[in-house]
Amino acid sequence: MNPEIIKPENAVYCRPASFTEVSTHYCPGCTHGTAHRLIAEVLDEMMLKEKTIGVAPVGCSVFAYNYFDTDFVEAAHGRAPAMATGIKRVLPDRIVFTYQGDGDLASIGMAEIMHAAGRGENITVIFVNNAIYGMTGGQMAPTTLPGQKTTSSPLGRDVELQGYPLRMSEMIAKMDGAGYVVRRSLHDPANIRKAKKAVRTAFETQVRGLGFSMVELLSTCPTNWGITPVESLQWVEDHMIPVFPLGDFKVSAAVGDIRI
Amino acid sequence: MTRELIKGNVAMAEAAVRAGLEAYFGYPITPQTEILEHLARRLPELGRAFVQAESEVAAINMVYGAACTGVRVMSSSSSPGVSLMMEGISYIAGTEVPVVLINVMRGGPGLGNIAPAQSDYNQAVHGGGHGDFPRIVLAPASVQEAIDLTVASFDLAEKYRCVTMLIADGNIGQMMEPAELPEMRPLLRKDWPWATNGALGRPRRILSSIYIDPPAEEVANLRMLKTWLEIQKNEVRYKEYFIEDADFVVVGFGTAGRIALSAVRTARQQGIKVGLLRPITVSPFPFAVLDELASRAQGFLVTEMNMGQMLQDVQLAVKGRAPVEFYGRTGGMVPFPGEILKEIQRMATTKLSLTADPRQAWLERMLAK
Amino acid sequence: MQKELIIAGFGGQGVLFAGQVLAYAAMDSGFEVTWIPSYGPEMRGGTANCTIVIADEEIGSPLVQHPPYAVALNLPSFDKYEAEMQAGGVLVVNQSMVDRISRRTDITCIFIPANEIAEALGDKKLTNMVAMGAMLACLPELSLKDVQTALSNHLSARHKHLLPKNFEALQRGCDFAREHLAAQTAS
């Protein structure tokens, strides 16, 4: 490479300042990295790095605190919204966000997420839904699709026995405390751009004190789905989006007025 | 300051406010609800944080979050609710952030009842939450002591970055006594070098109970042990009554301890040389003073509102050098002084065994009634 | 010195408040005092009671098995505490709510028509104060004046207008008990 062209003005890609200089531990093809990057870019754009406190979950993103150059705490499984409540209530001028997977948010942490939204806690939740438990090795999640094979639904999720996938965004959107609740997908560049805008809007919602904000991101898990990264992206489009339709489920009037 | 007649639960809540409590998160449960109710009114009027959480599980994790920012924070509950908090307590301990908790204990196990009990001693002192961690446990016996220990608990929690738990019971919580509340302390938000309050102009910080490398976890655990040994050295508190010339020593904490005082006084009037040792810190436990007493006392009577939990700590201190007897009431029953007096009289007039199991002997006496 | 007293009756008869007034009076007189109520679901519509211990030293047990003093404002309380009273004790009974005499000969029972006296004063809610007044005739450690001062000092502002009636209720109860005791001594 010609060293002459390595100049700041020529950069088309660089590490966001809100990232630390470490490599992530995520599997090849996993979209956690994409989700992380969207948050870091938004924190950069909004210059929030020095006033943000993140709350990491239990799950694949348990080490999220290693990757963001902001203050971070690590919650017990499912309790991130409660911990975020505790932080935000004593430091209302700081930005507090949780980063949670589907097992963390929609299963063990169901009470905490619903009540945080019900109280209209002025926090931002990034909900990564990949329809499976990643960290423990591919068990059924509350968002696992009907018929989807996992290590704990080896014959495919039988809705008669194992129930139906939970659509968290739709449920949370019903609550008066929620200001902004949307679902986006990370399976192609166009959708990633839309996801970025949603993450930005969610943080803007919090900065303006407009209530609870959540962005659900449909994500991949090639390792535990047992397919290649490219096939995984296609699988999101073909199988997940029909069950978890993309869209804005709650945009309060005040949030709707936000112009970025 | 003048004395005012004040209910134990309200006294603890107000004492916490005056000690600089900035945030409270809790869930209603009898017999501690007055703490939550008092703070529901008091904290918002002072511009401080109060949240009635959806459960004790959420409450303790809200406490955990607020504690990470370095403010004075607490929760309170009663036995079944404290059981729900055990997960969070372990995380808080593992993260080494200061938190104050109050358990106004009630009859158990299970749903039990709402009458006063001391059956969470082992949970508070020896167990409660997974993993290997120290905790300070204070046992007030009066409303004044409940106030003083609530204030002290914040200082202790911050000094050692650990969980400090007050174990009271329904009696202490519901009783009114004249007591003096401390002056309102100005709110001093300390900028602790560990607090996660936004990395403004400094390197970012992480607070976590995760040590994914076992060697690092071992280092953390050994650090906590070192802290614990410091606590044991510095923070033991107890109160002695009529101990100087005592042939027999009654040992009881909290409500059981003060009830025993009535029995000890009557026994003294009857010429029995009996004294009372009332541990105020049950963790750290006053092992040293018991060790000294064991070399000269003719016998110990442990009295508790449980089936003999602190008993085992007393036995550990006495090391078989003197007979240790037990008298308890359980399930929400509270002993009357006369019951303890009978035990003292029995000890003073019969030959005591060094080897008998005090709980078995007590059970046999209870069943014979 | 230590004196223990139990006040018991139906919820709504002002049992807990009467006990608190006594506790305030004891505190203001420089004594140590404990006030402890029955609490929880049994309070809703059932029988309420509180125990007050007054002493001139650190109080041990706030509960008492055999009270030397008790006030029973209803029949269930009379049944219960009559049996538990210490020999030689004083039991003030609200005669308006009981239909029998005492079975004990080793305690002093003061039967007082507290409801009727209170109603004559214009407010049935004063029953507790009438009965308390009767008890005060037997408690040399606390005078009627001490309790009246406690009432003035600790009654909330919005209830201050009730003070004269409360004072009168205490006085009527006390007078009744003194006459009752004098008659007993005479006979």
Q: At C11, is the pLDDT very low, low, confident or very high (cuts 50, 70, 90)?
A: confident
Are both B49 and B89 inside the same structural domain?
yes
Could you tell me which residues come within 8 angstroms of residue A179 by beta carbon, excluding any fewer than 6 positions away?
A120, A205, A210, A211, A212, A213, A250, A252, A254, A255
pLDDT, residue B1, reads 56
How many B-C residue pairs are in contact by the CB < 8 A criterion?
A: 66
Helix, strand, or coil here: A35? helix
Residue B69's φ and ψ, nearest 5 degrees, are: -85, -10
Contact between B258 and C59 using a beta-carbon 8 Å cutoff: yes
pLDDT, residue A13, reads 86
Which of B180, B206, B234 marks a domain boundary? B234
Q: Which residue of chain B has the CA closest to A53?
A: B198
How far, in Å, CA of C65 to CA of C88, rounded?
15
Percent of chain A with pLDDT over 90: 94
Contact between B176 and C34 using a beta-carbon 8 Å cutoff: yes
For the domain that residue B296 is a member of, what is the CATH number?
Answer: 3.40.50.920
> Hey, of B54, B56, B61, which one would you mutate to test binding to chain A, going by the most A CBs within 10 A of its CB?
B61
Are both B52 and B172 inside the same structural domain?
yes
Torsion, Cα of A185, A186, A188, A191 (10° steps): 50
Distance (Å) from the alpha carbon of B84 to chain C's nearest alpha carbon: 22
Q: Which residue of chain B has the CA closest to C22?
A: B5
C61 shares contact with chain B (CB less than 8 Å): yes
Q: Could you tell me the two tokens for B362?
A: 């007590």
Residue C45 pLDDT > 70: no
Which pLDDT tens digit goes with each residue over B47-57?
A: 999 999 999 99
Contact predicate B167/B120, CB 8 Å: yes
The DSSP code for B119 is T
Are both B92 and B208 inside the same structural domain?
yes
Contact predicate C48/B249, CB 8 Å: no
Q: Could you tell me the two tokens for B94?
A: 């593992």
Are both B224 and B255 inside the same structural domain?
no
Residue B239 pLDDT > 90: yes
Residues in chain C closer than 8 A to B176 (CB atoms): 20, 23, 34-36
Contact predicate B132/B81, CB 8 Å: no
Could you tell me which residues come within 8 angstroms of residue C72 by beta carbon, excluding any fewer than 6 positions away?
C8, C9, C78, C80, C81, C82, C91, C92, C93, C94, C98
Which pLDDT tens digit goes with each residue over C31-41?
A: 999 999 987 55
Q: How many domains does chain A have?
A: 1
| Region for B96 from its dihedrals, namely left if φ exceeds 0, alpha if ψ lies in -120 to 50, beta otherwise | left
Which pLDDT tens digit goes with each residue over A213-224?
A: 999 999 999 999
Average pLDDT, chain B: 97
Closest CA to B256 of B172, B149, B198: B172
Q: How many domains does chain B have?
A: 2
Residue carrying structure tokens 């005056």: B18
Neighbour-count burial of A246, counting CB atoms closer than 10 A to its CB (0-12 exposed, 13-18 middle, 19+ buried): middle
Which among B5, B171, B264 has CB closest to C23? B5
Which pLDDT tens digit goes with each residue over A110-155?
A: 999 999 999 999 999 999 999 999 999 999 999 999 999 999 999 9
Q: Which domain does A50 fall in, by range?
A: 27-255
Contact between A65 and B208 using a beta-carbon 8 Å cutoff: yes
pLDDT, residue C47, reads 81
> Hey, of B204, B209, B213, B217, which one would you mutate to test binding to chain A, going by the most A CBs within 10 A of its CB?
B204
How far, in Å, CA of B8 to CA of B172, rounded?
5
Distance (Å) from the alpha carbon of A35 to chain B's nearest alpha carbon: 20
Residue C43 pLDDT > 60: no
For the domain that residue C77 is a member of, what is the CATH number?
Answer: 3.40.920.10
Which among C27, C59, C62 has CB closest to B5? C27
> Hey, of A53, A107, A207, which one would you mutate to test binding to chain B, going by the most B CBs within 10 A of its CB?
A53
Residues in chain B closer than 8 A to C147 (CB atoms): none
For the domain that residue A102 is a member of, what is the CATH number?
Answer: 3.40.50.970
pLDDT, residue B188, reads 83
Percent of chain A with pLDDT over 70: 100
Contact predicate B117/B306, CB 8 Å: yes
pLDDT, residue A1, reads 64
Contact predicate A101/A61, CB 8 Å: yes
For the domain that residue B211 is a member of, what is the CATH number?
Answer: 3.40.50.970
pLDDT, residue B352, reads 96
Helix axes B287-294, B310-318, angle to 10 degrees: 50
Q: What are the helix (H) ranges across A14-79?
A: 32-45
How many A-B residue pairs are in contact by the CB < 8 A criterion?
A: 132
> Hey, of C3, C20, C63, which one would you mutate to test binding to chain B, going by the most B CBs within 10 A of its CB?
C63
Identify whether A90 is part of a domain. Answer: yes
Contact between B65 and A73 using a beta-carbon 8 Å cutoff: yes
Residue A251 pLDDT > 80: yes
The DSSP code for C117 is H
**What's the pTM?**
0.94
Which among B5, B31, B175 has CB closest to C40? B31
Which among C60, C65, C66 has CB closest to B258? C60
Identify whether A70 is part of a domain. Answer: yes
Distance (Å) from the alpha carbon of B127 to chain A's nearest alpha carbon: 19
Residue A213's φ and ψ, nearest 5 degrees, are: -130, 140
Contact predicate A136/A145, CB 8 Å: no
Residue C42 pLDDT > 70: no
Which pLDDT tens digit goes with each residue over B65-112?
A: 999 999 999 999 999 999 999 999 999 999 999 999 999 999 999 999
**Overall average pLDDT of the B194-212 stretch:** 97
Which of B213, B234, B255 marks a domain boundary? B234
Identify whether A10 is part of a domain. Answer: no
Percent of chain B with pLDDT over 90: 97
Distance (Å) from the alpha carbon of C116 to chain B's nearest alpha carbon: 31
How far, in Å, CA of B348 to CA of B346, rounded?
5
pLDDT, residue C156, reads 86
How far, in Å, CA of B156 to CA of B153, rounded?
5
Q: Which domain does B80 fall in, by range?
A: 4-234
Which of B203, B234, B265 marks a domain boundary? B234
Identify whether A4 is part of a domain. Answer: no
Residue B307 pLDDT > 70: yes
Which pLDDT tens digit goes with each residue over A27-67?
A: 999 999 999 999 999 999 999 999 999 999 999 999 999 99
Are both B188 and B246 inside the same structural domain?
no
How far, in Å, CA of A196 to CA of A46, rounded?
13
Chain A residues within 8 Å of chain B (Cβ atoms): 49-53, 55-56, 62-63, 65-66, 68-76, 79, 82-87, 89-91, 94, 111-112, 114-115, 119
Contact predicate B44/B1, CB 8 Å: no
Are both B261 and B335 inside the same structural domain?
yes
Q: At C184, is the pLDDT very low, low, confident or very high (cuts 50, 70, 90)?
A: confident
pLDDT, residue B317, reads 98
Does chain A touch chain C (at least 3 C-beta pairs within 8 Å)? no
Are both B68 and B207 inside the same structural domain?
yes
How far, in Å, CA of A78 to CA of A84, rounded?
11
Residues in chain C closer than 8 A to B106 (CB atoms): none
Q: C-alpha angle with apex A157: A154 to A158, nearest 5 degrees?
A: 115
Which pLDDT tens digit goes with each residue over B22-62?
A: 999 999 999 999 999 999 999 999 999 999 999 999 999 99
In 3-state terms chain C splits into helix, strand, coil percentages (rounded to 5) of: 50, 20, 30
Residue A8 pLDDT > 80: yes
Interface of B with C in 316-335 (CB under 8 A): 334
Residue B271 pLDDT > 60: yes
pLDDT, residue A3, reads 79
Helix, strand, or coil here: A226? coil
Are both B223 and B188 inside the same structural domain?
yes
Could you tell me which residues come within 8 angstroms of residue B256 by beta carbon, excluding any fewer than 6 positions away?
B118, B303, B304, B305, B328, B335
Q: Which domain does C128 fall in, by range?
A: 2-186
Q: How many domains does chain C have?
A: 1
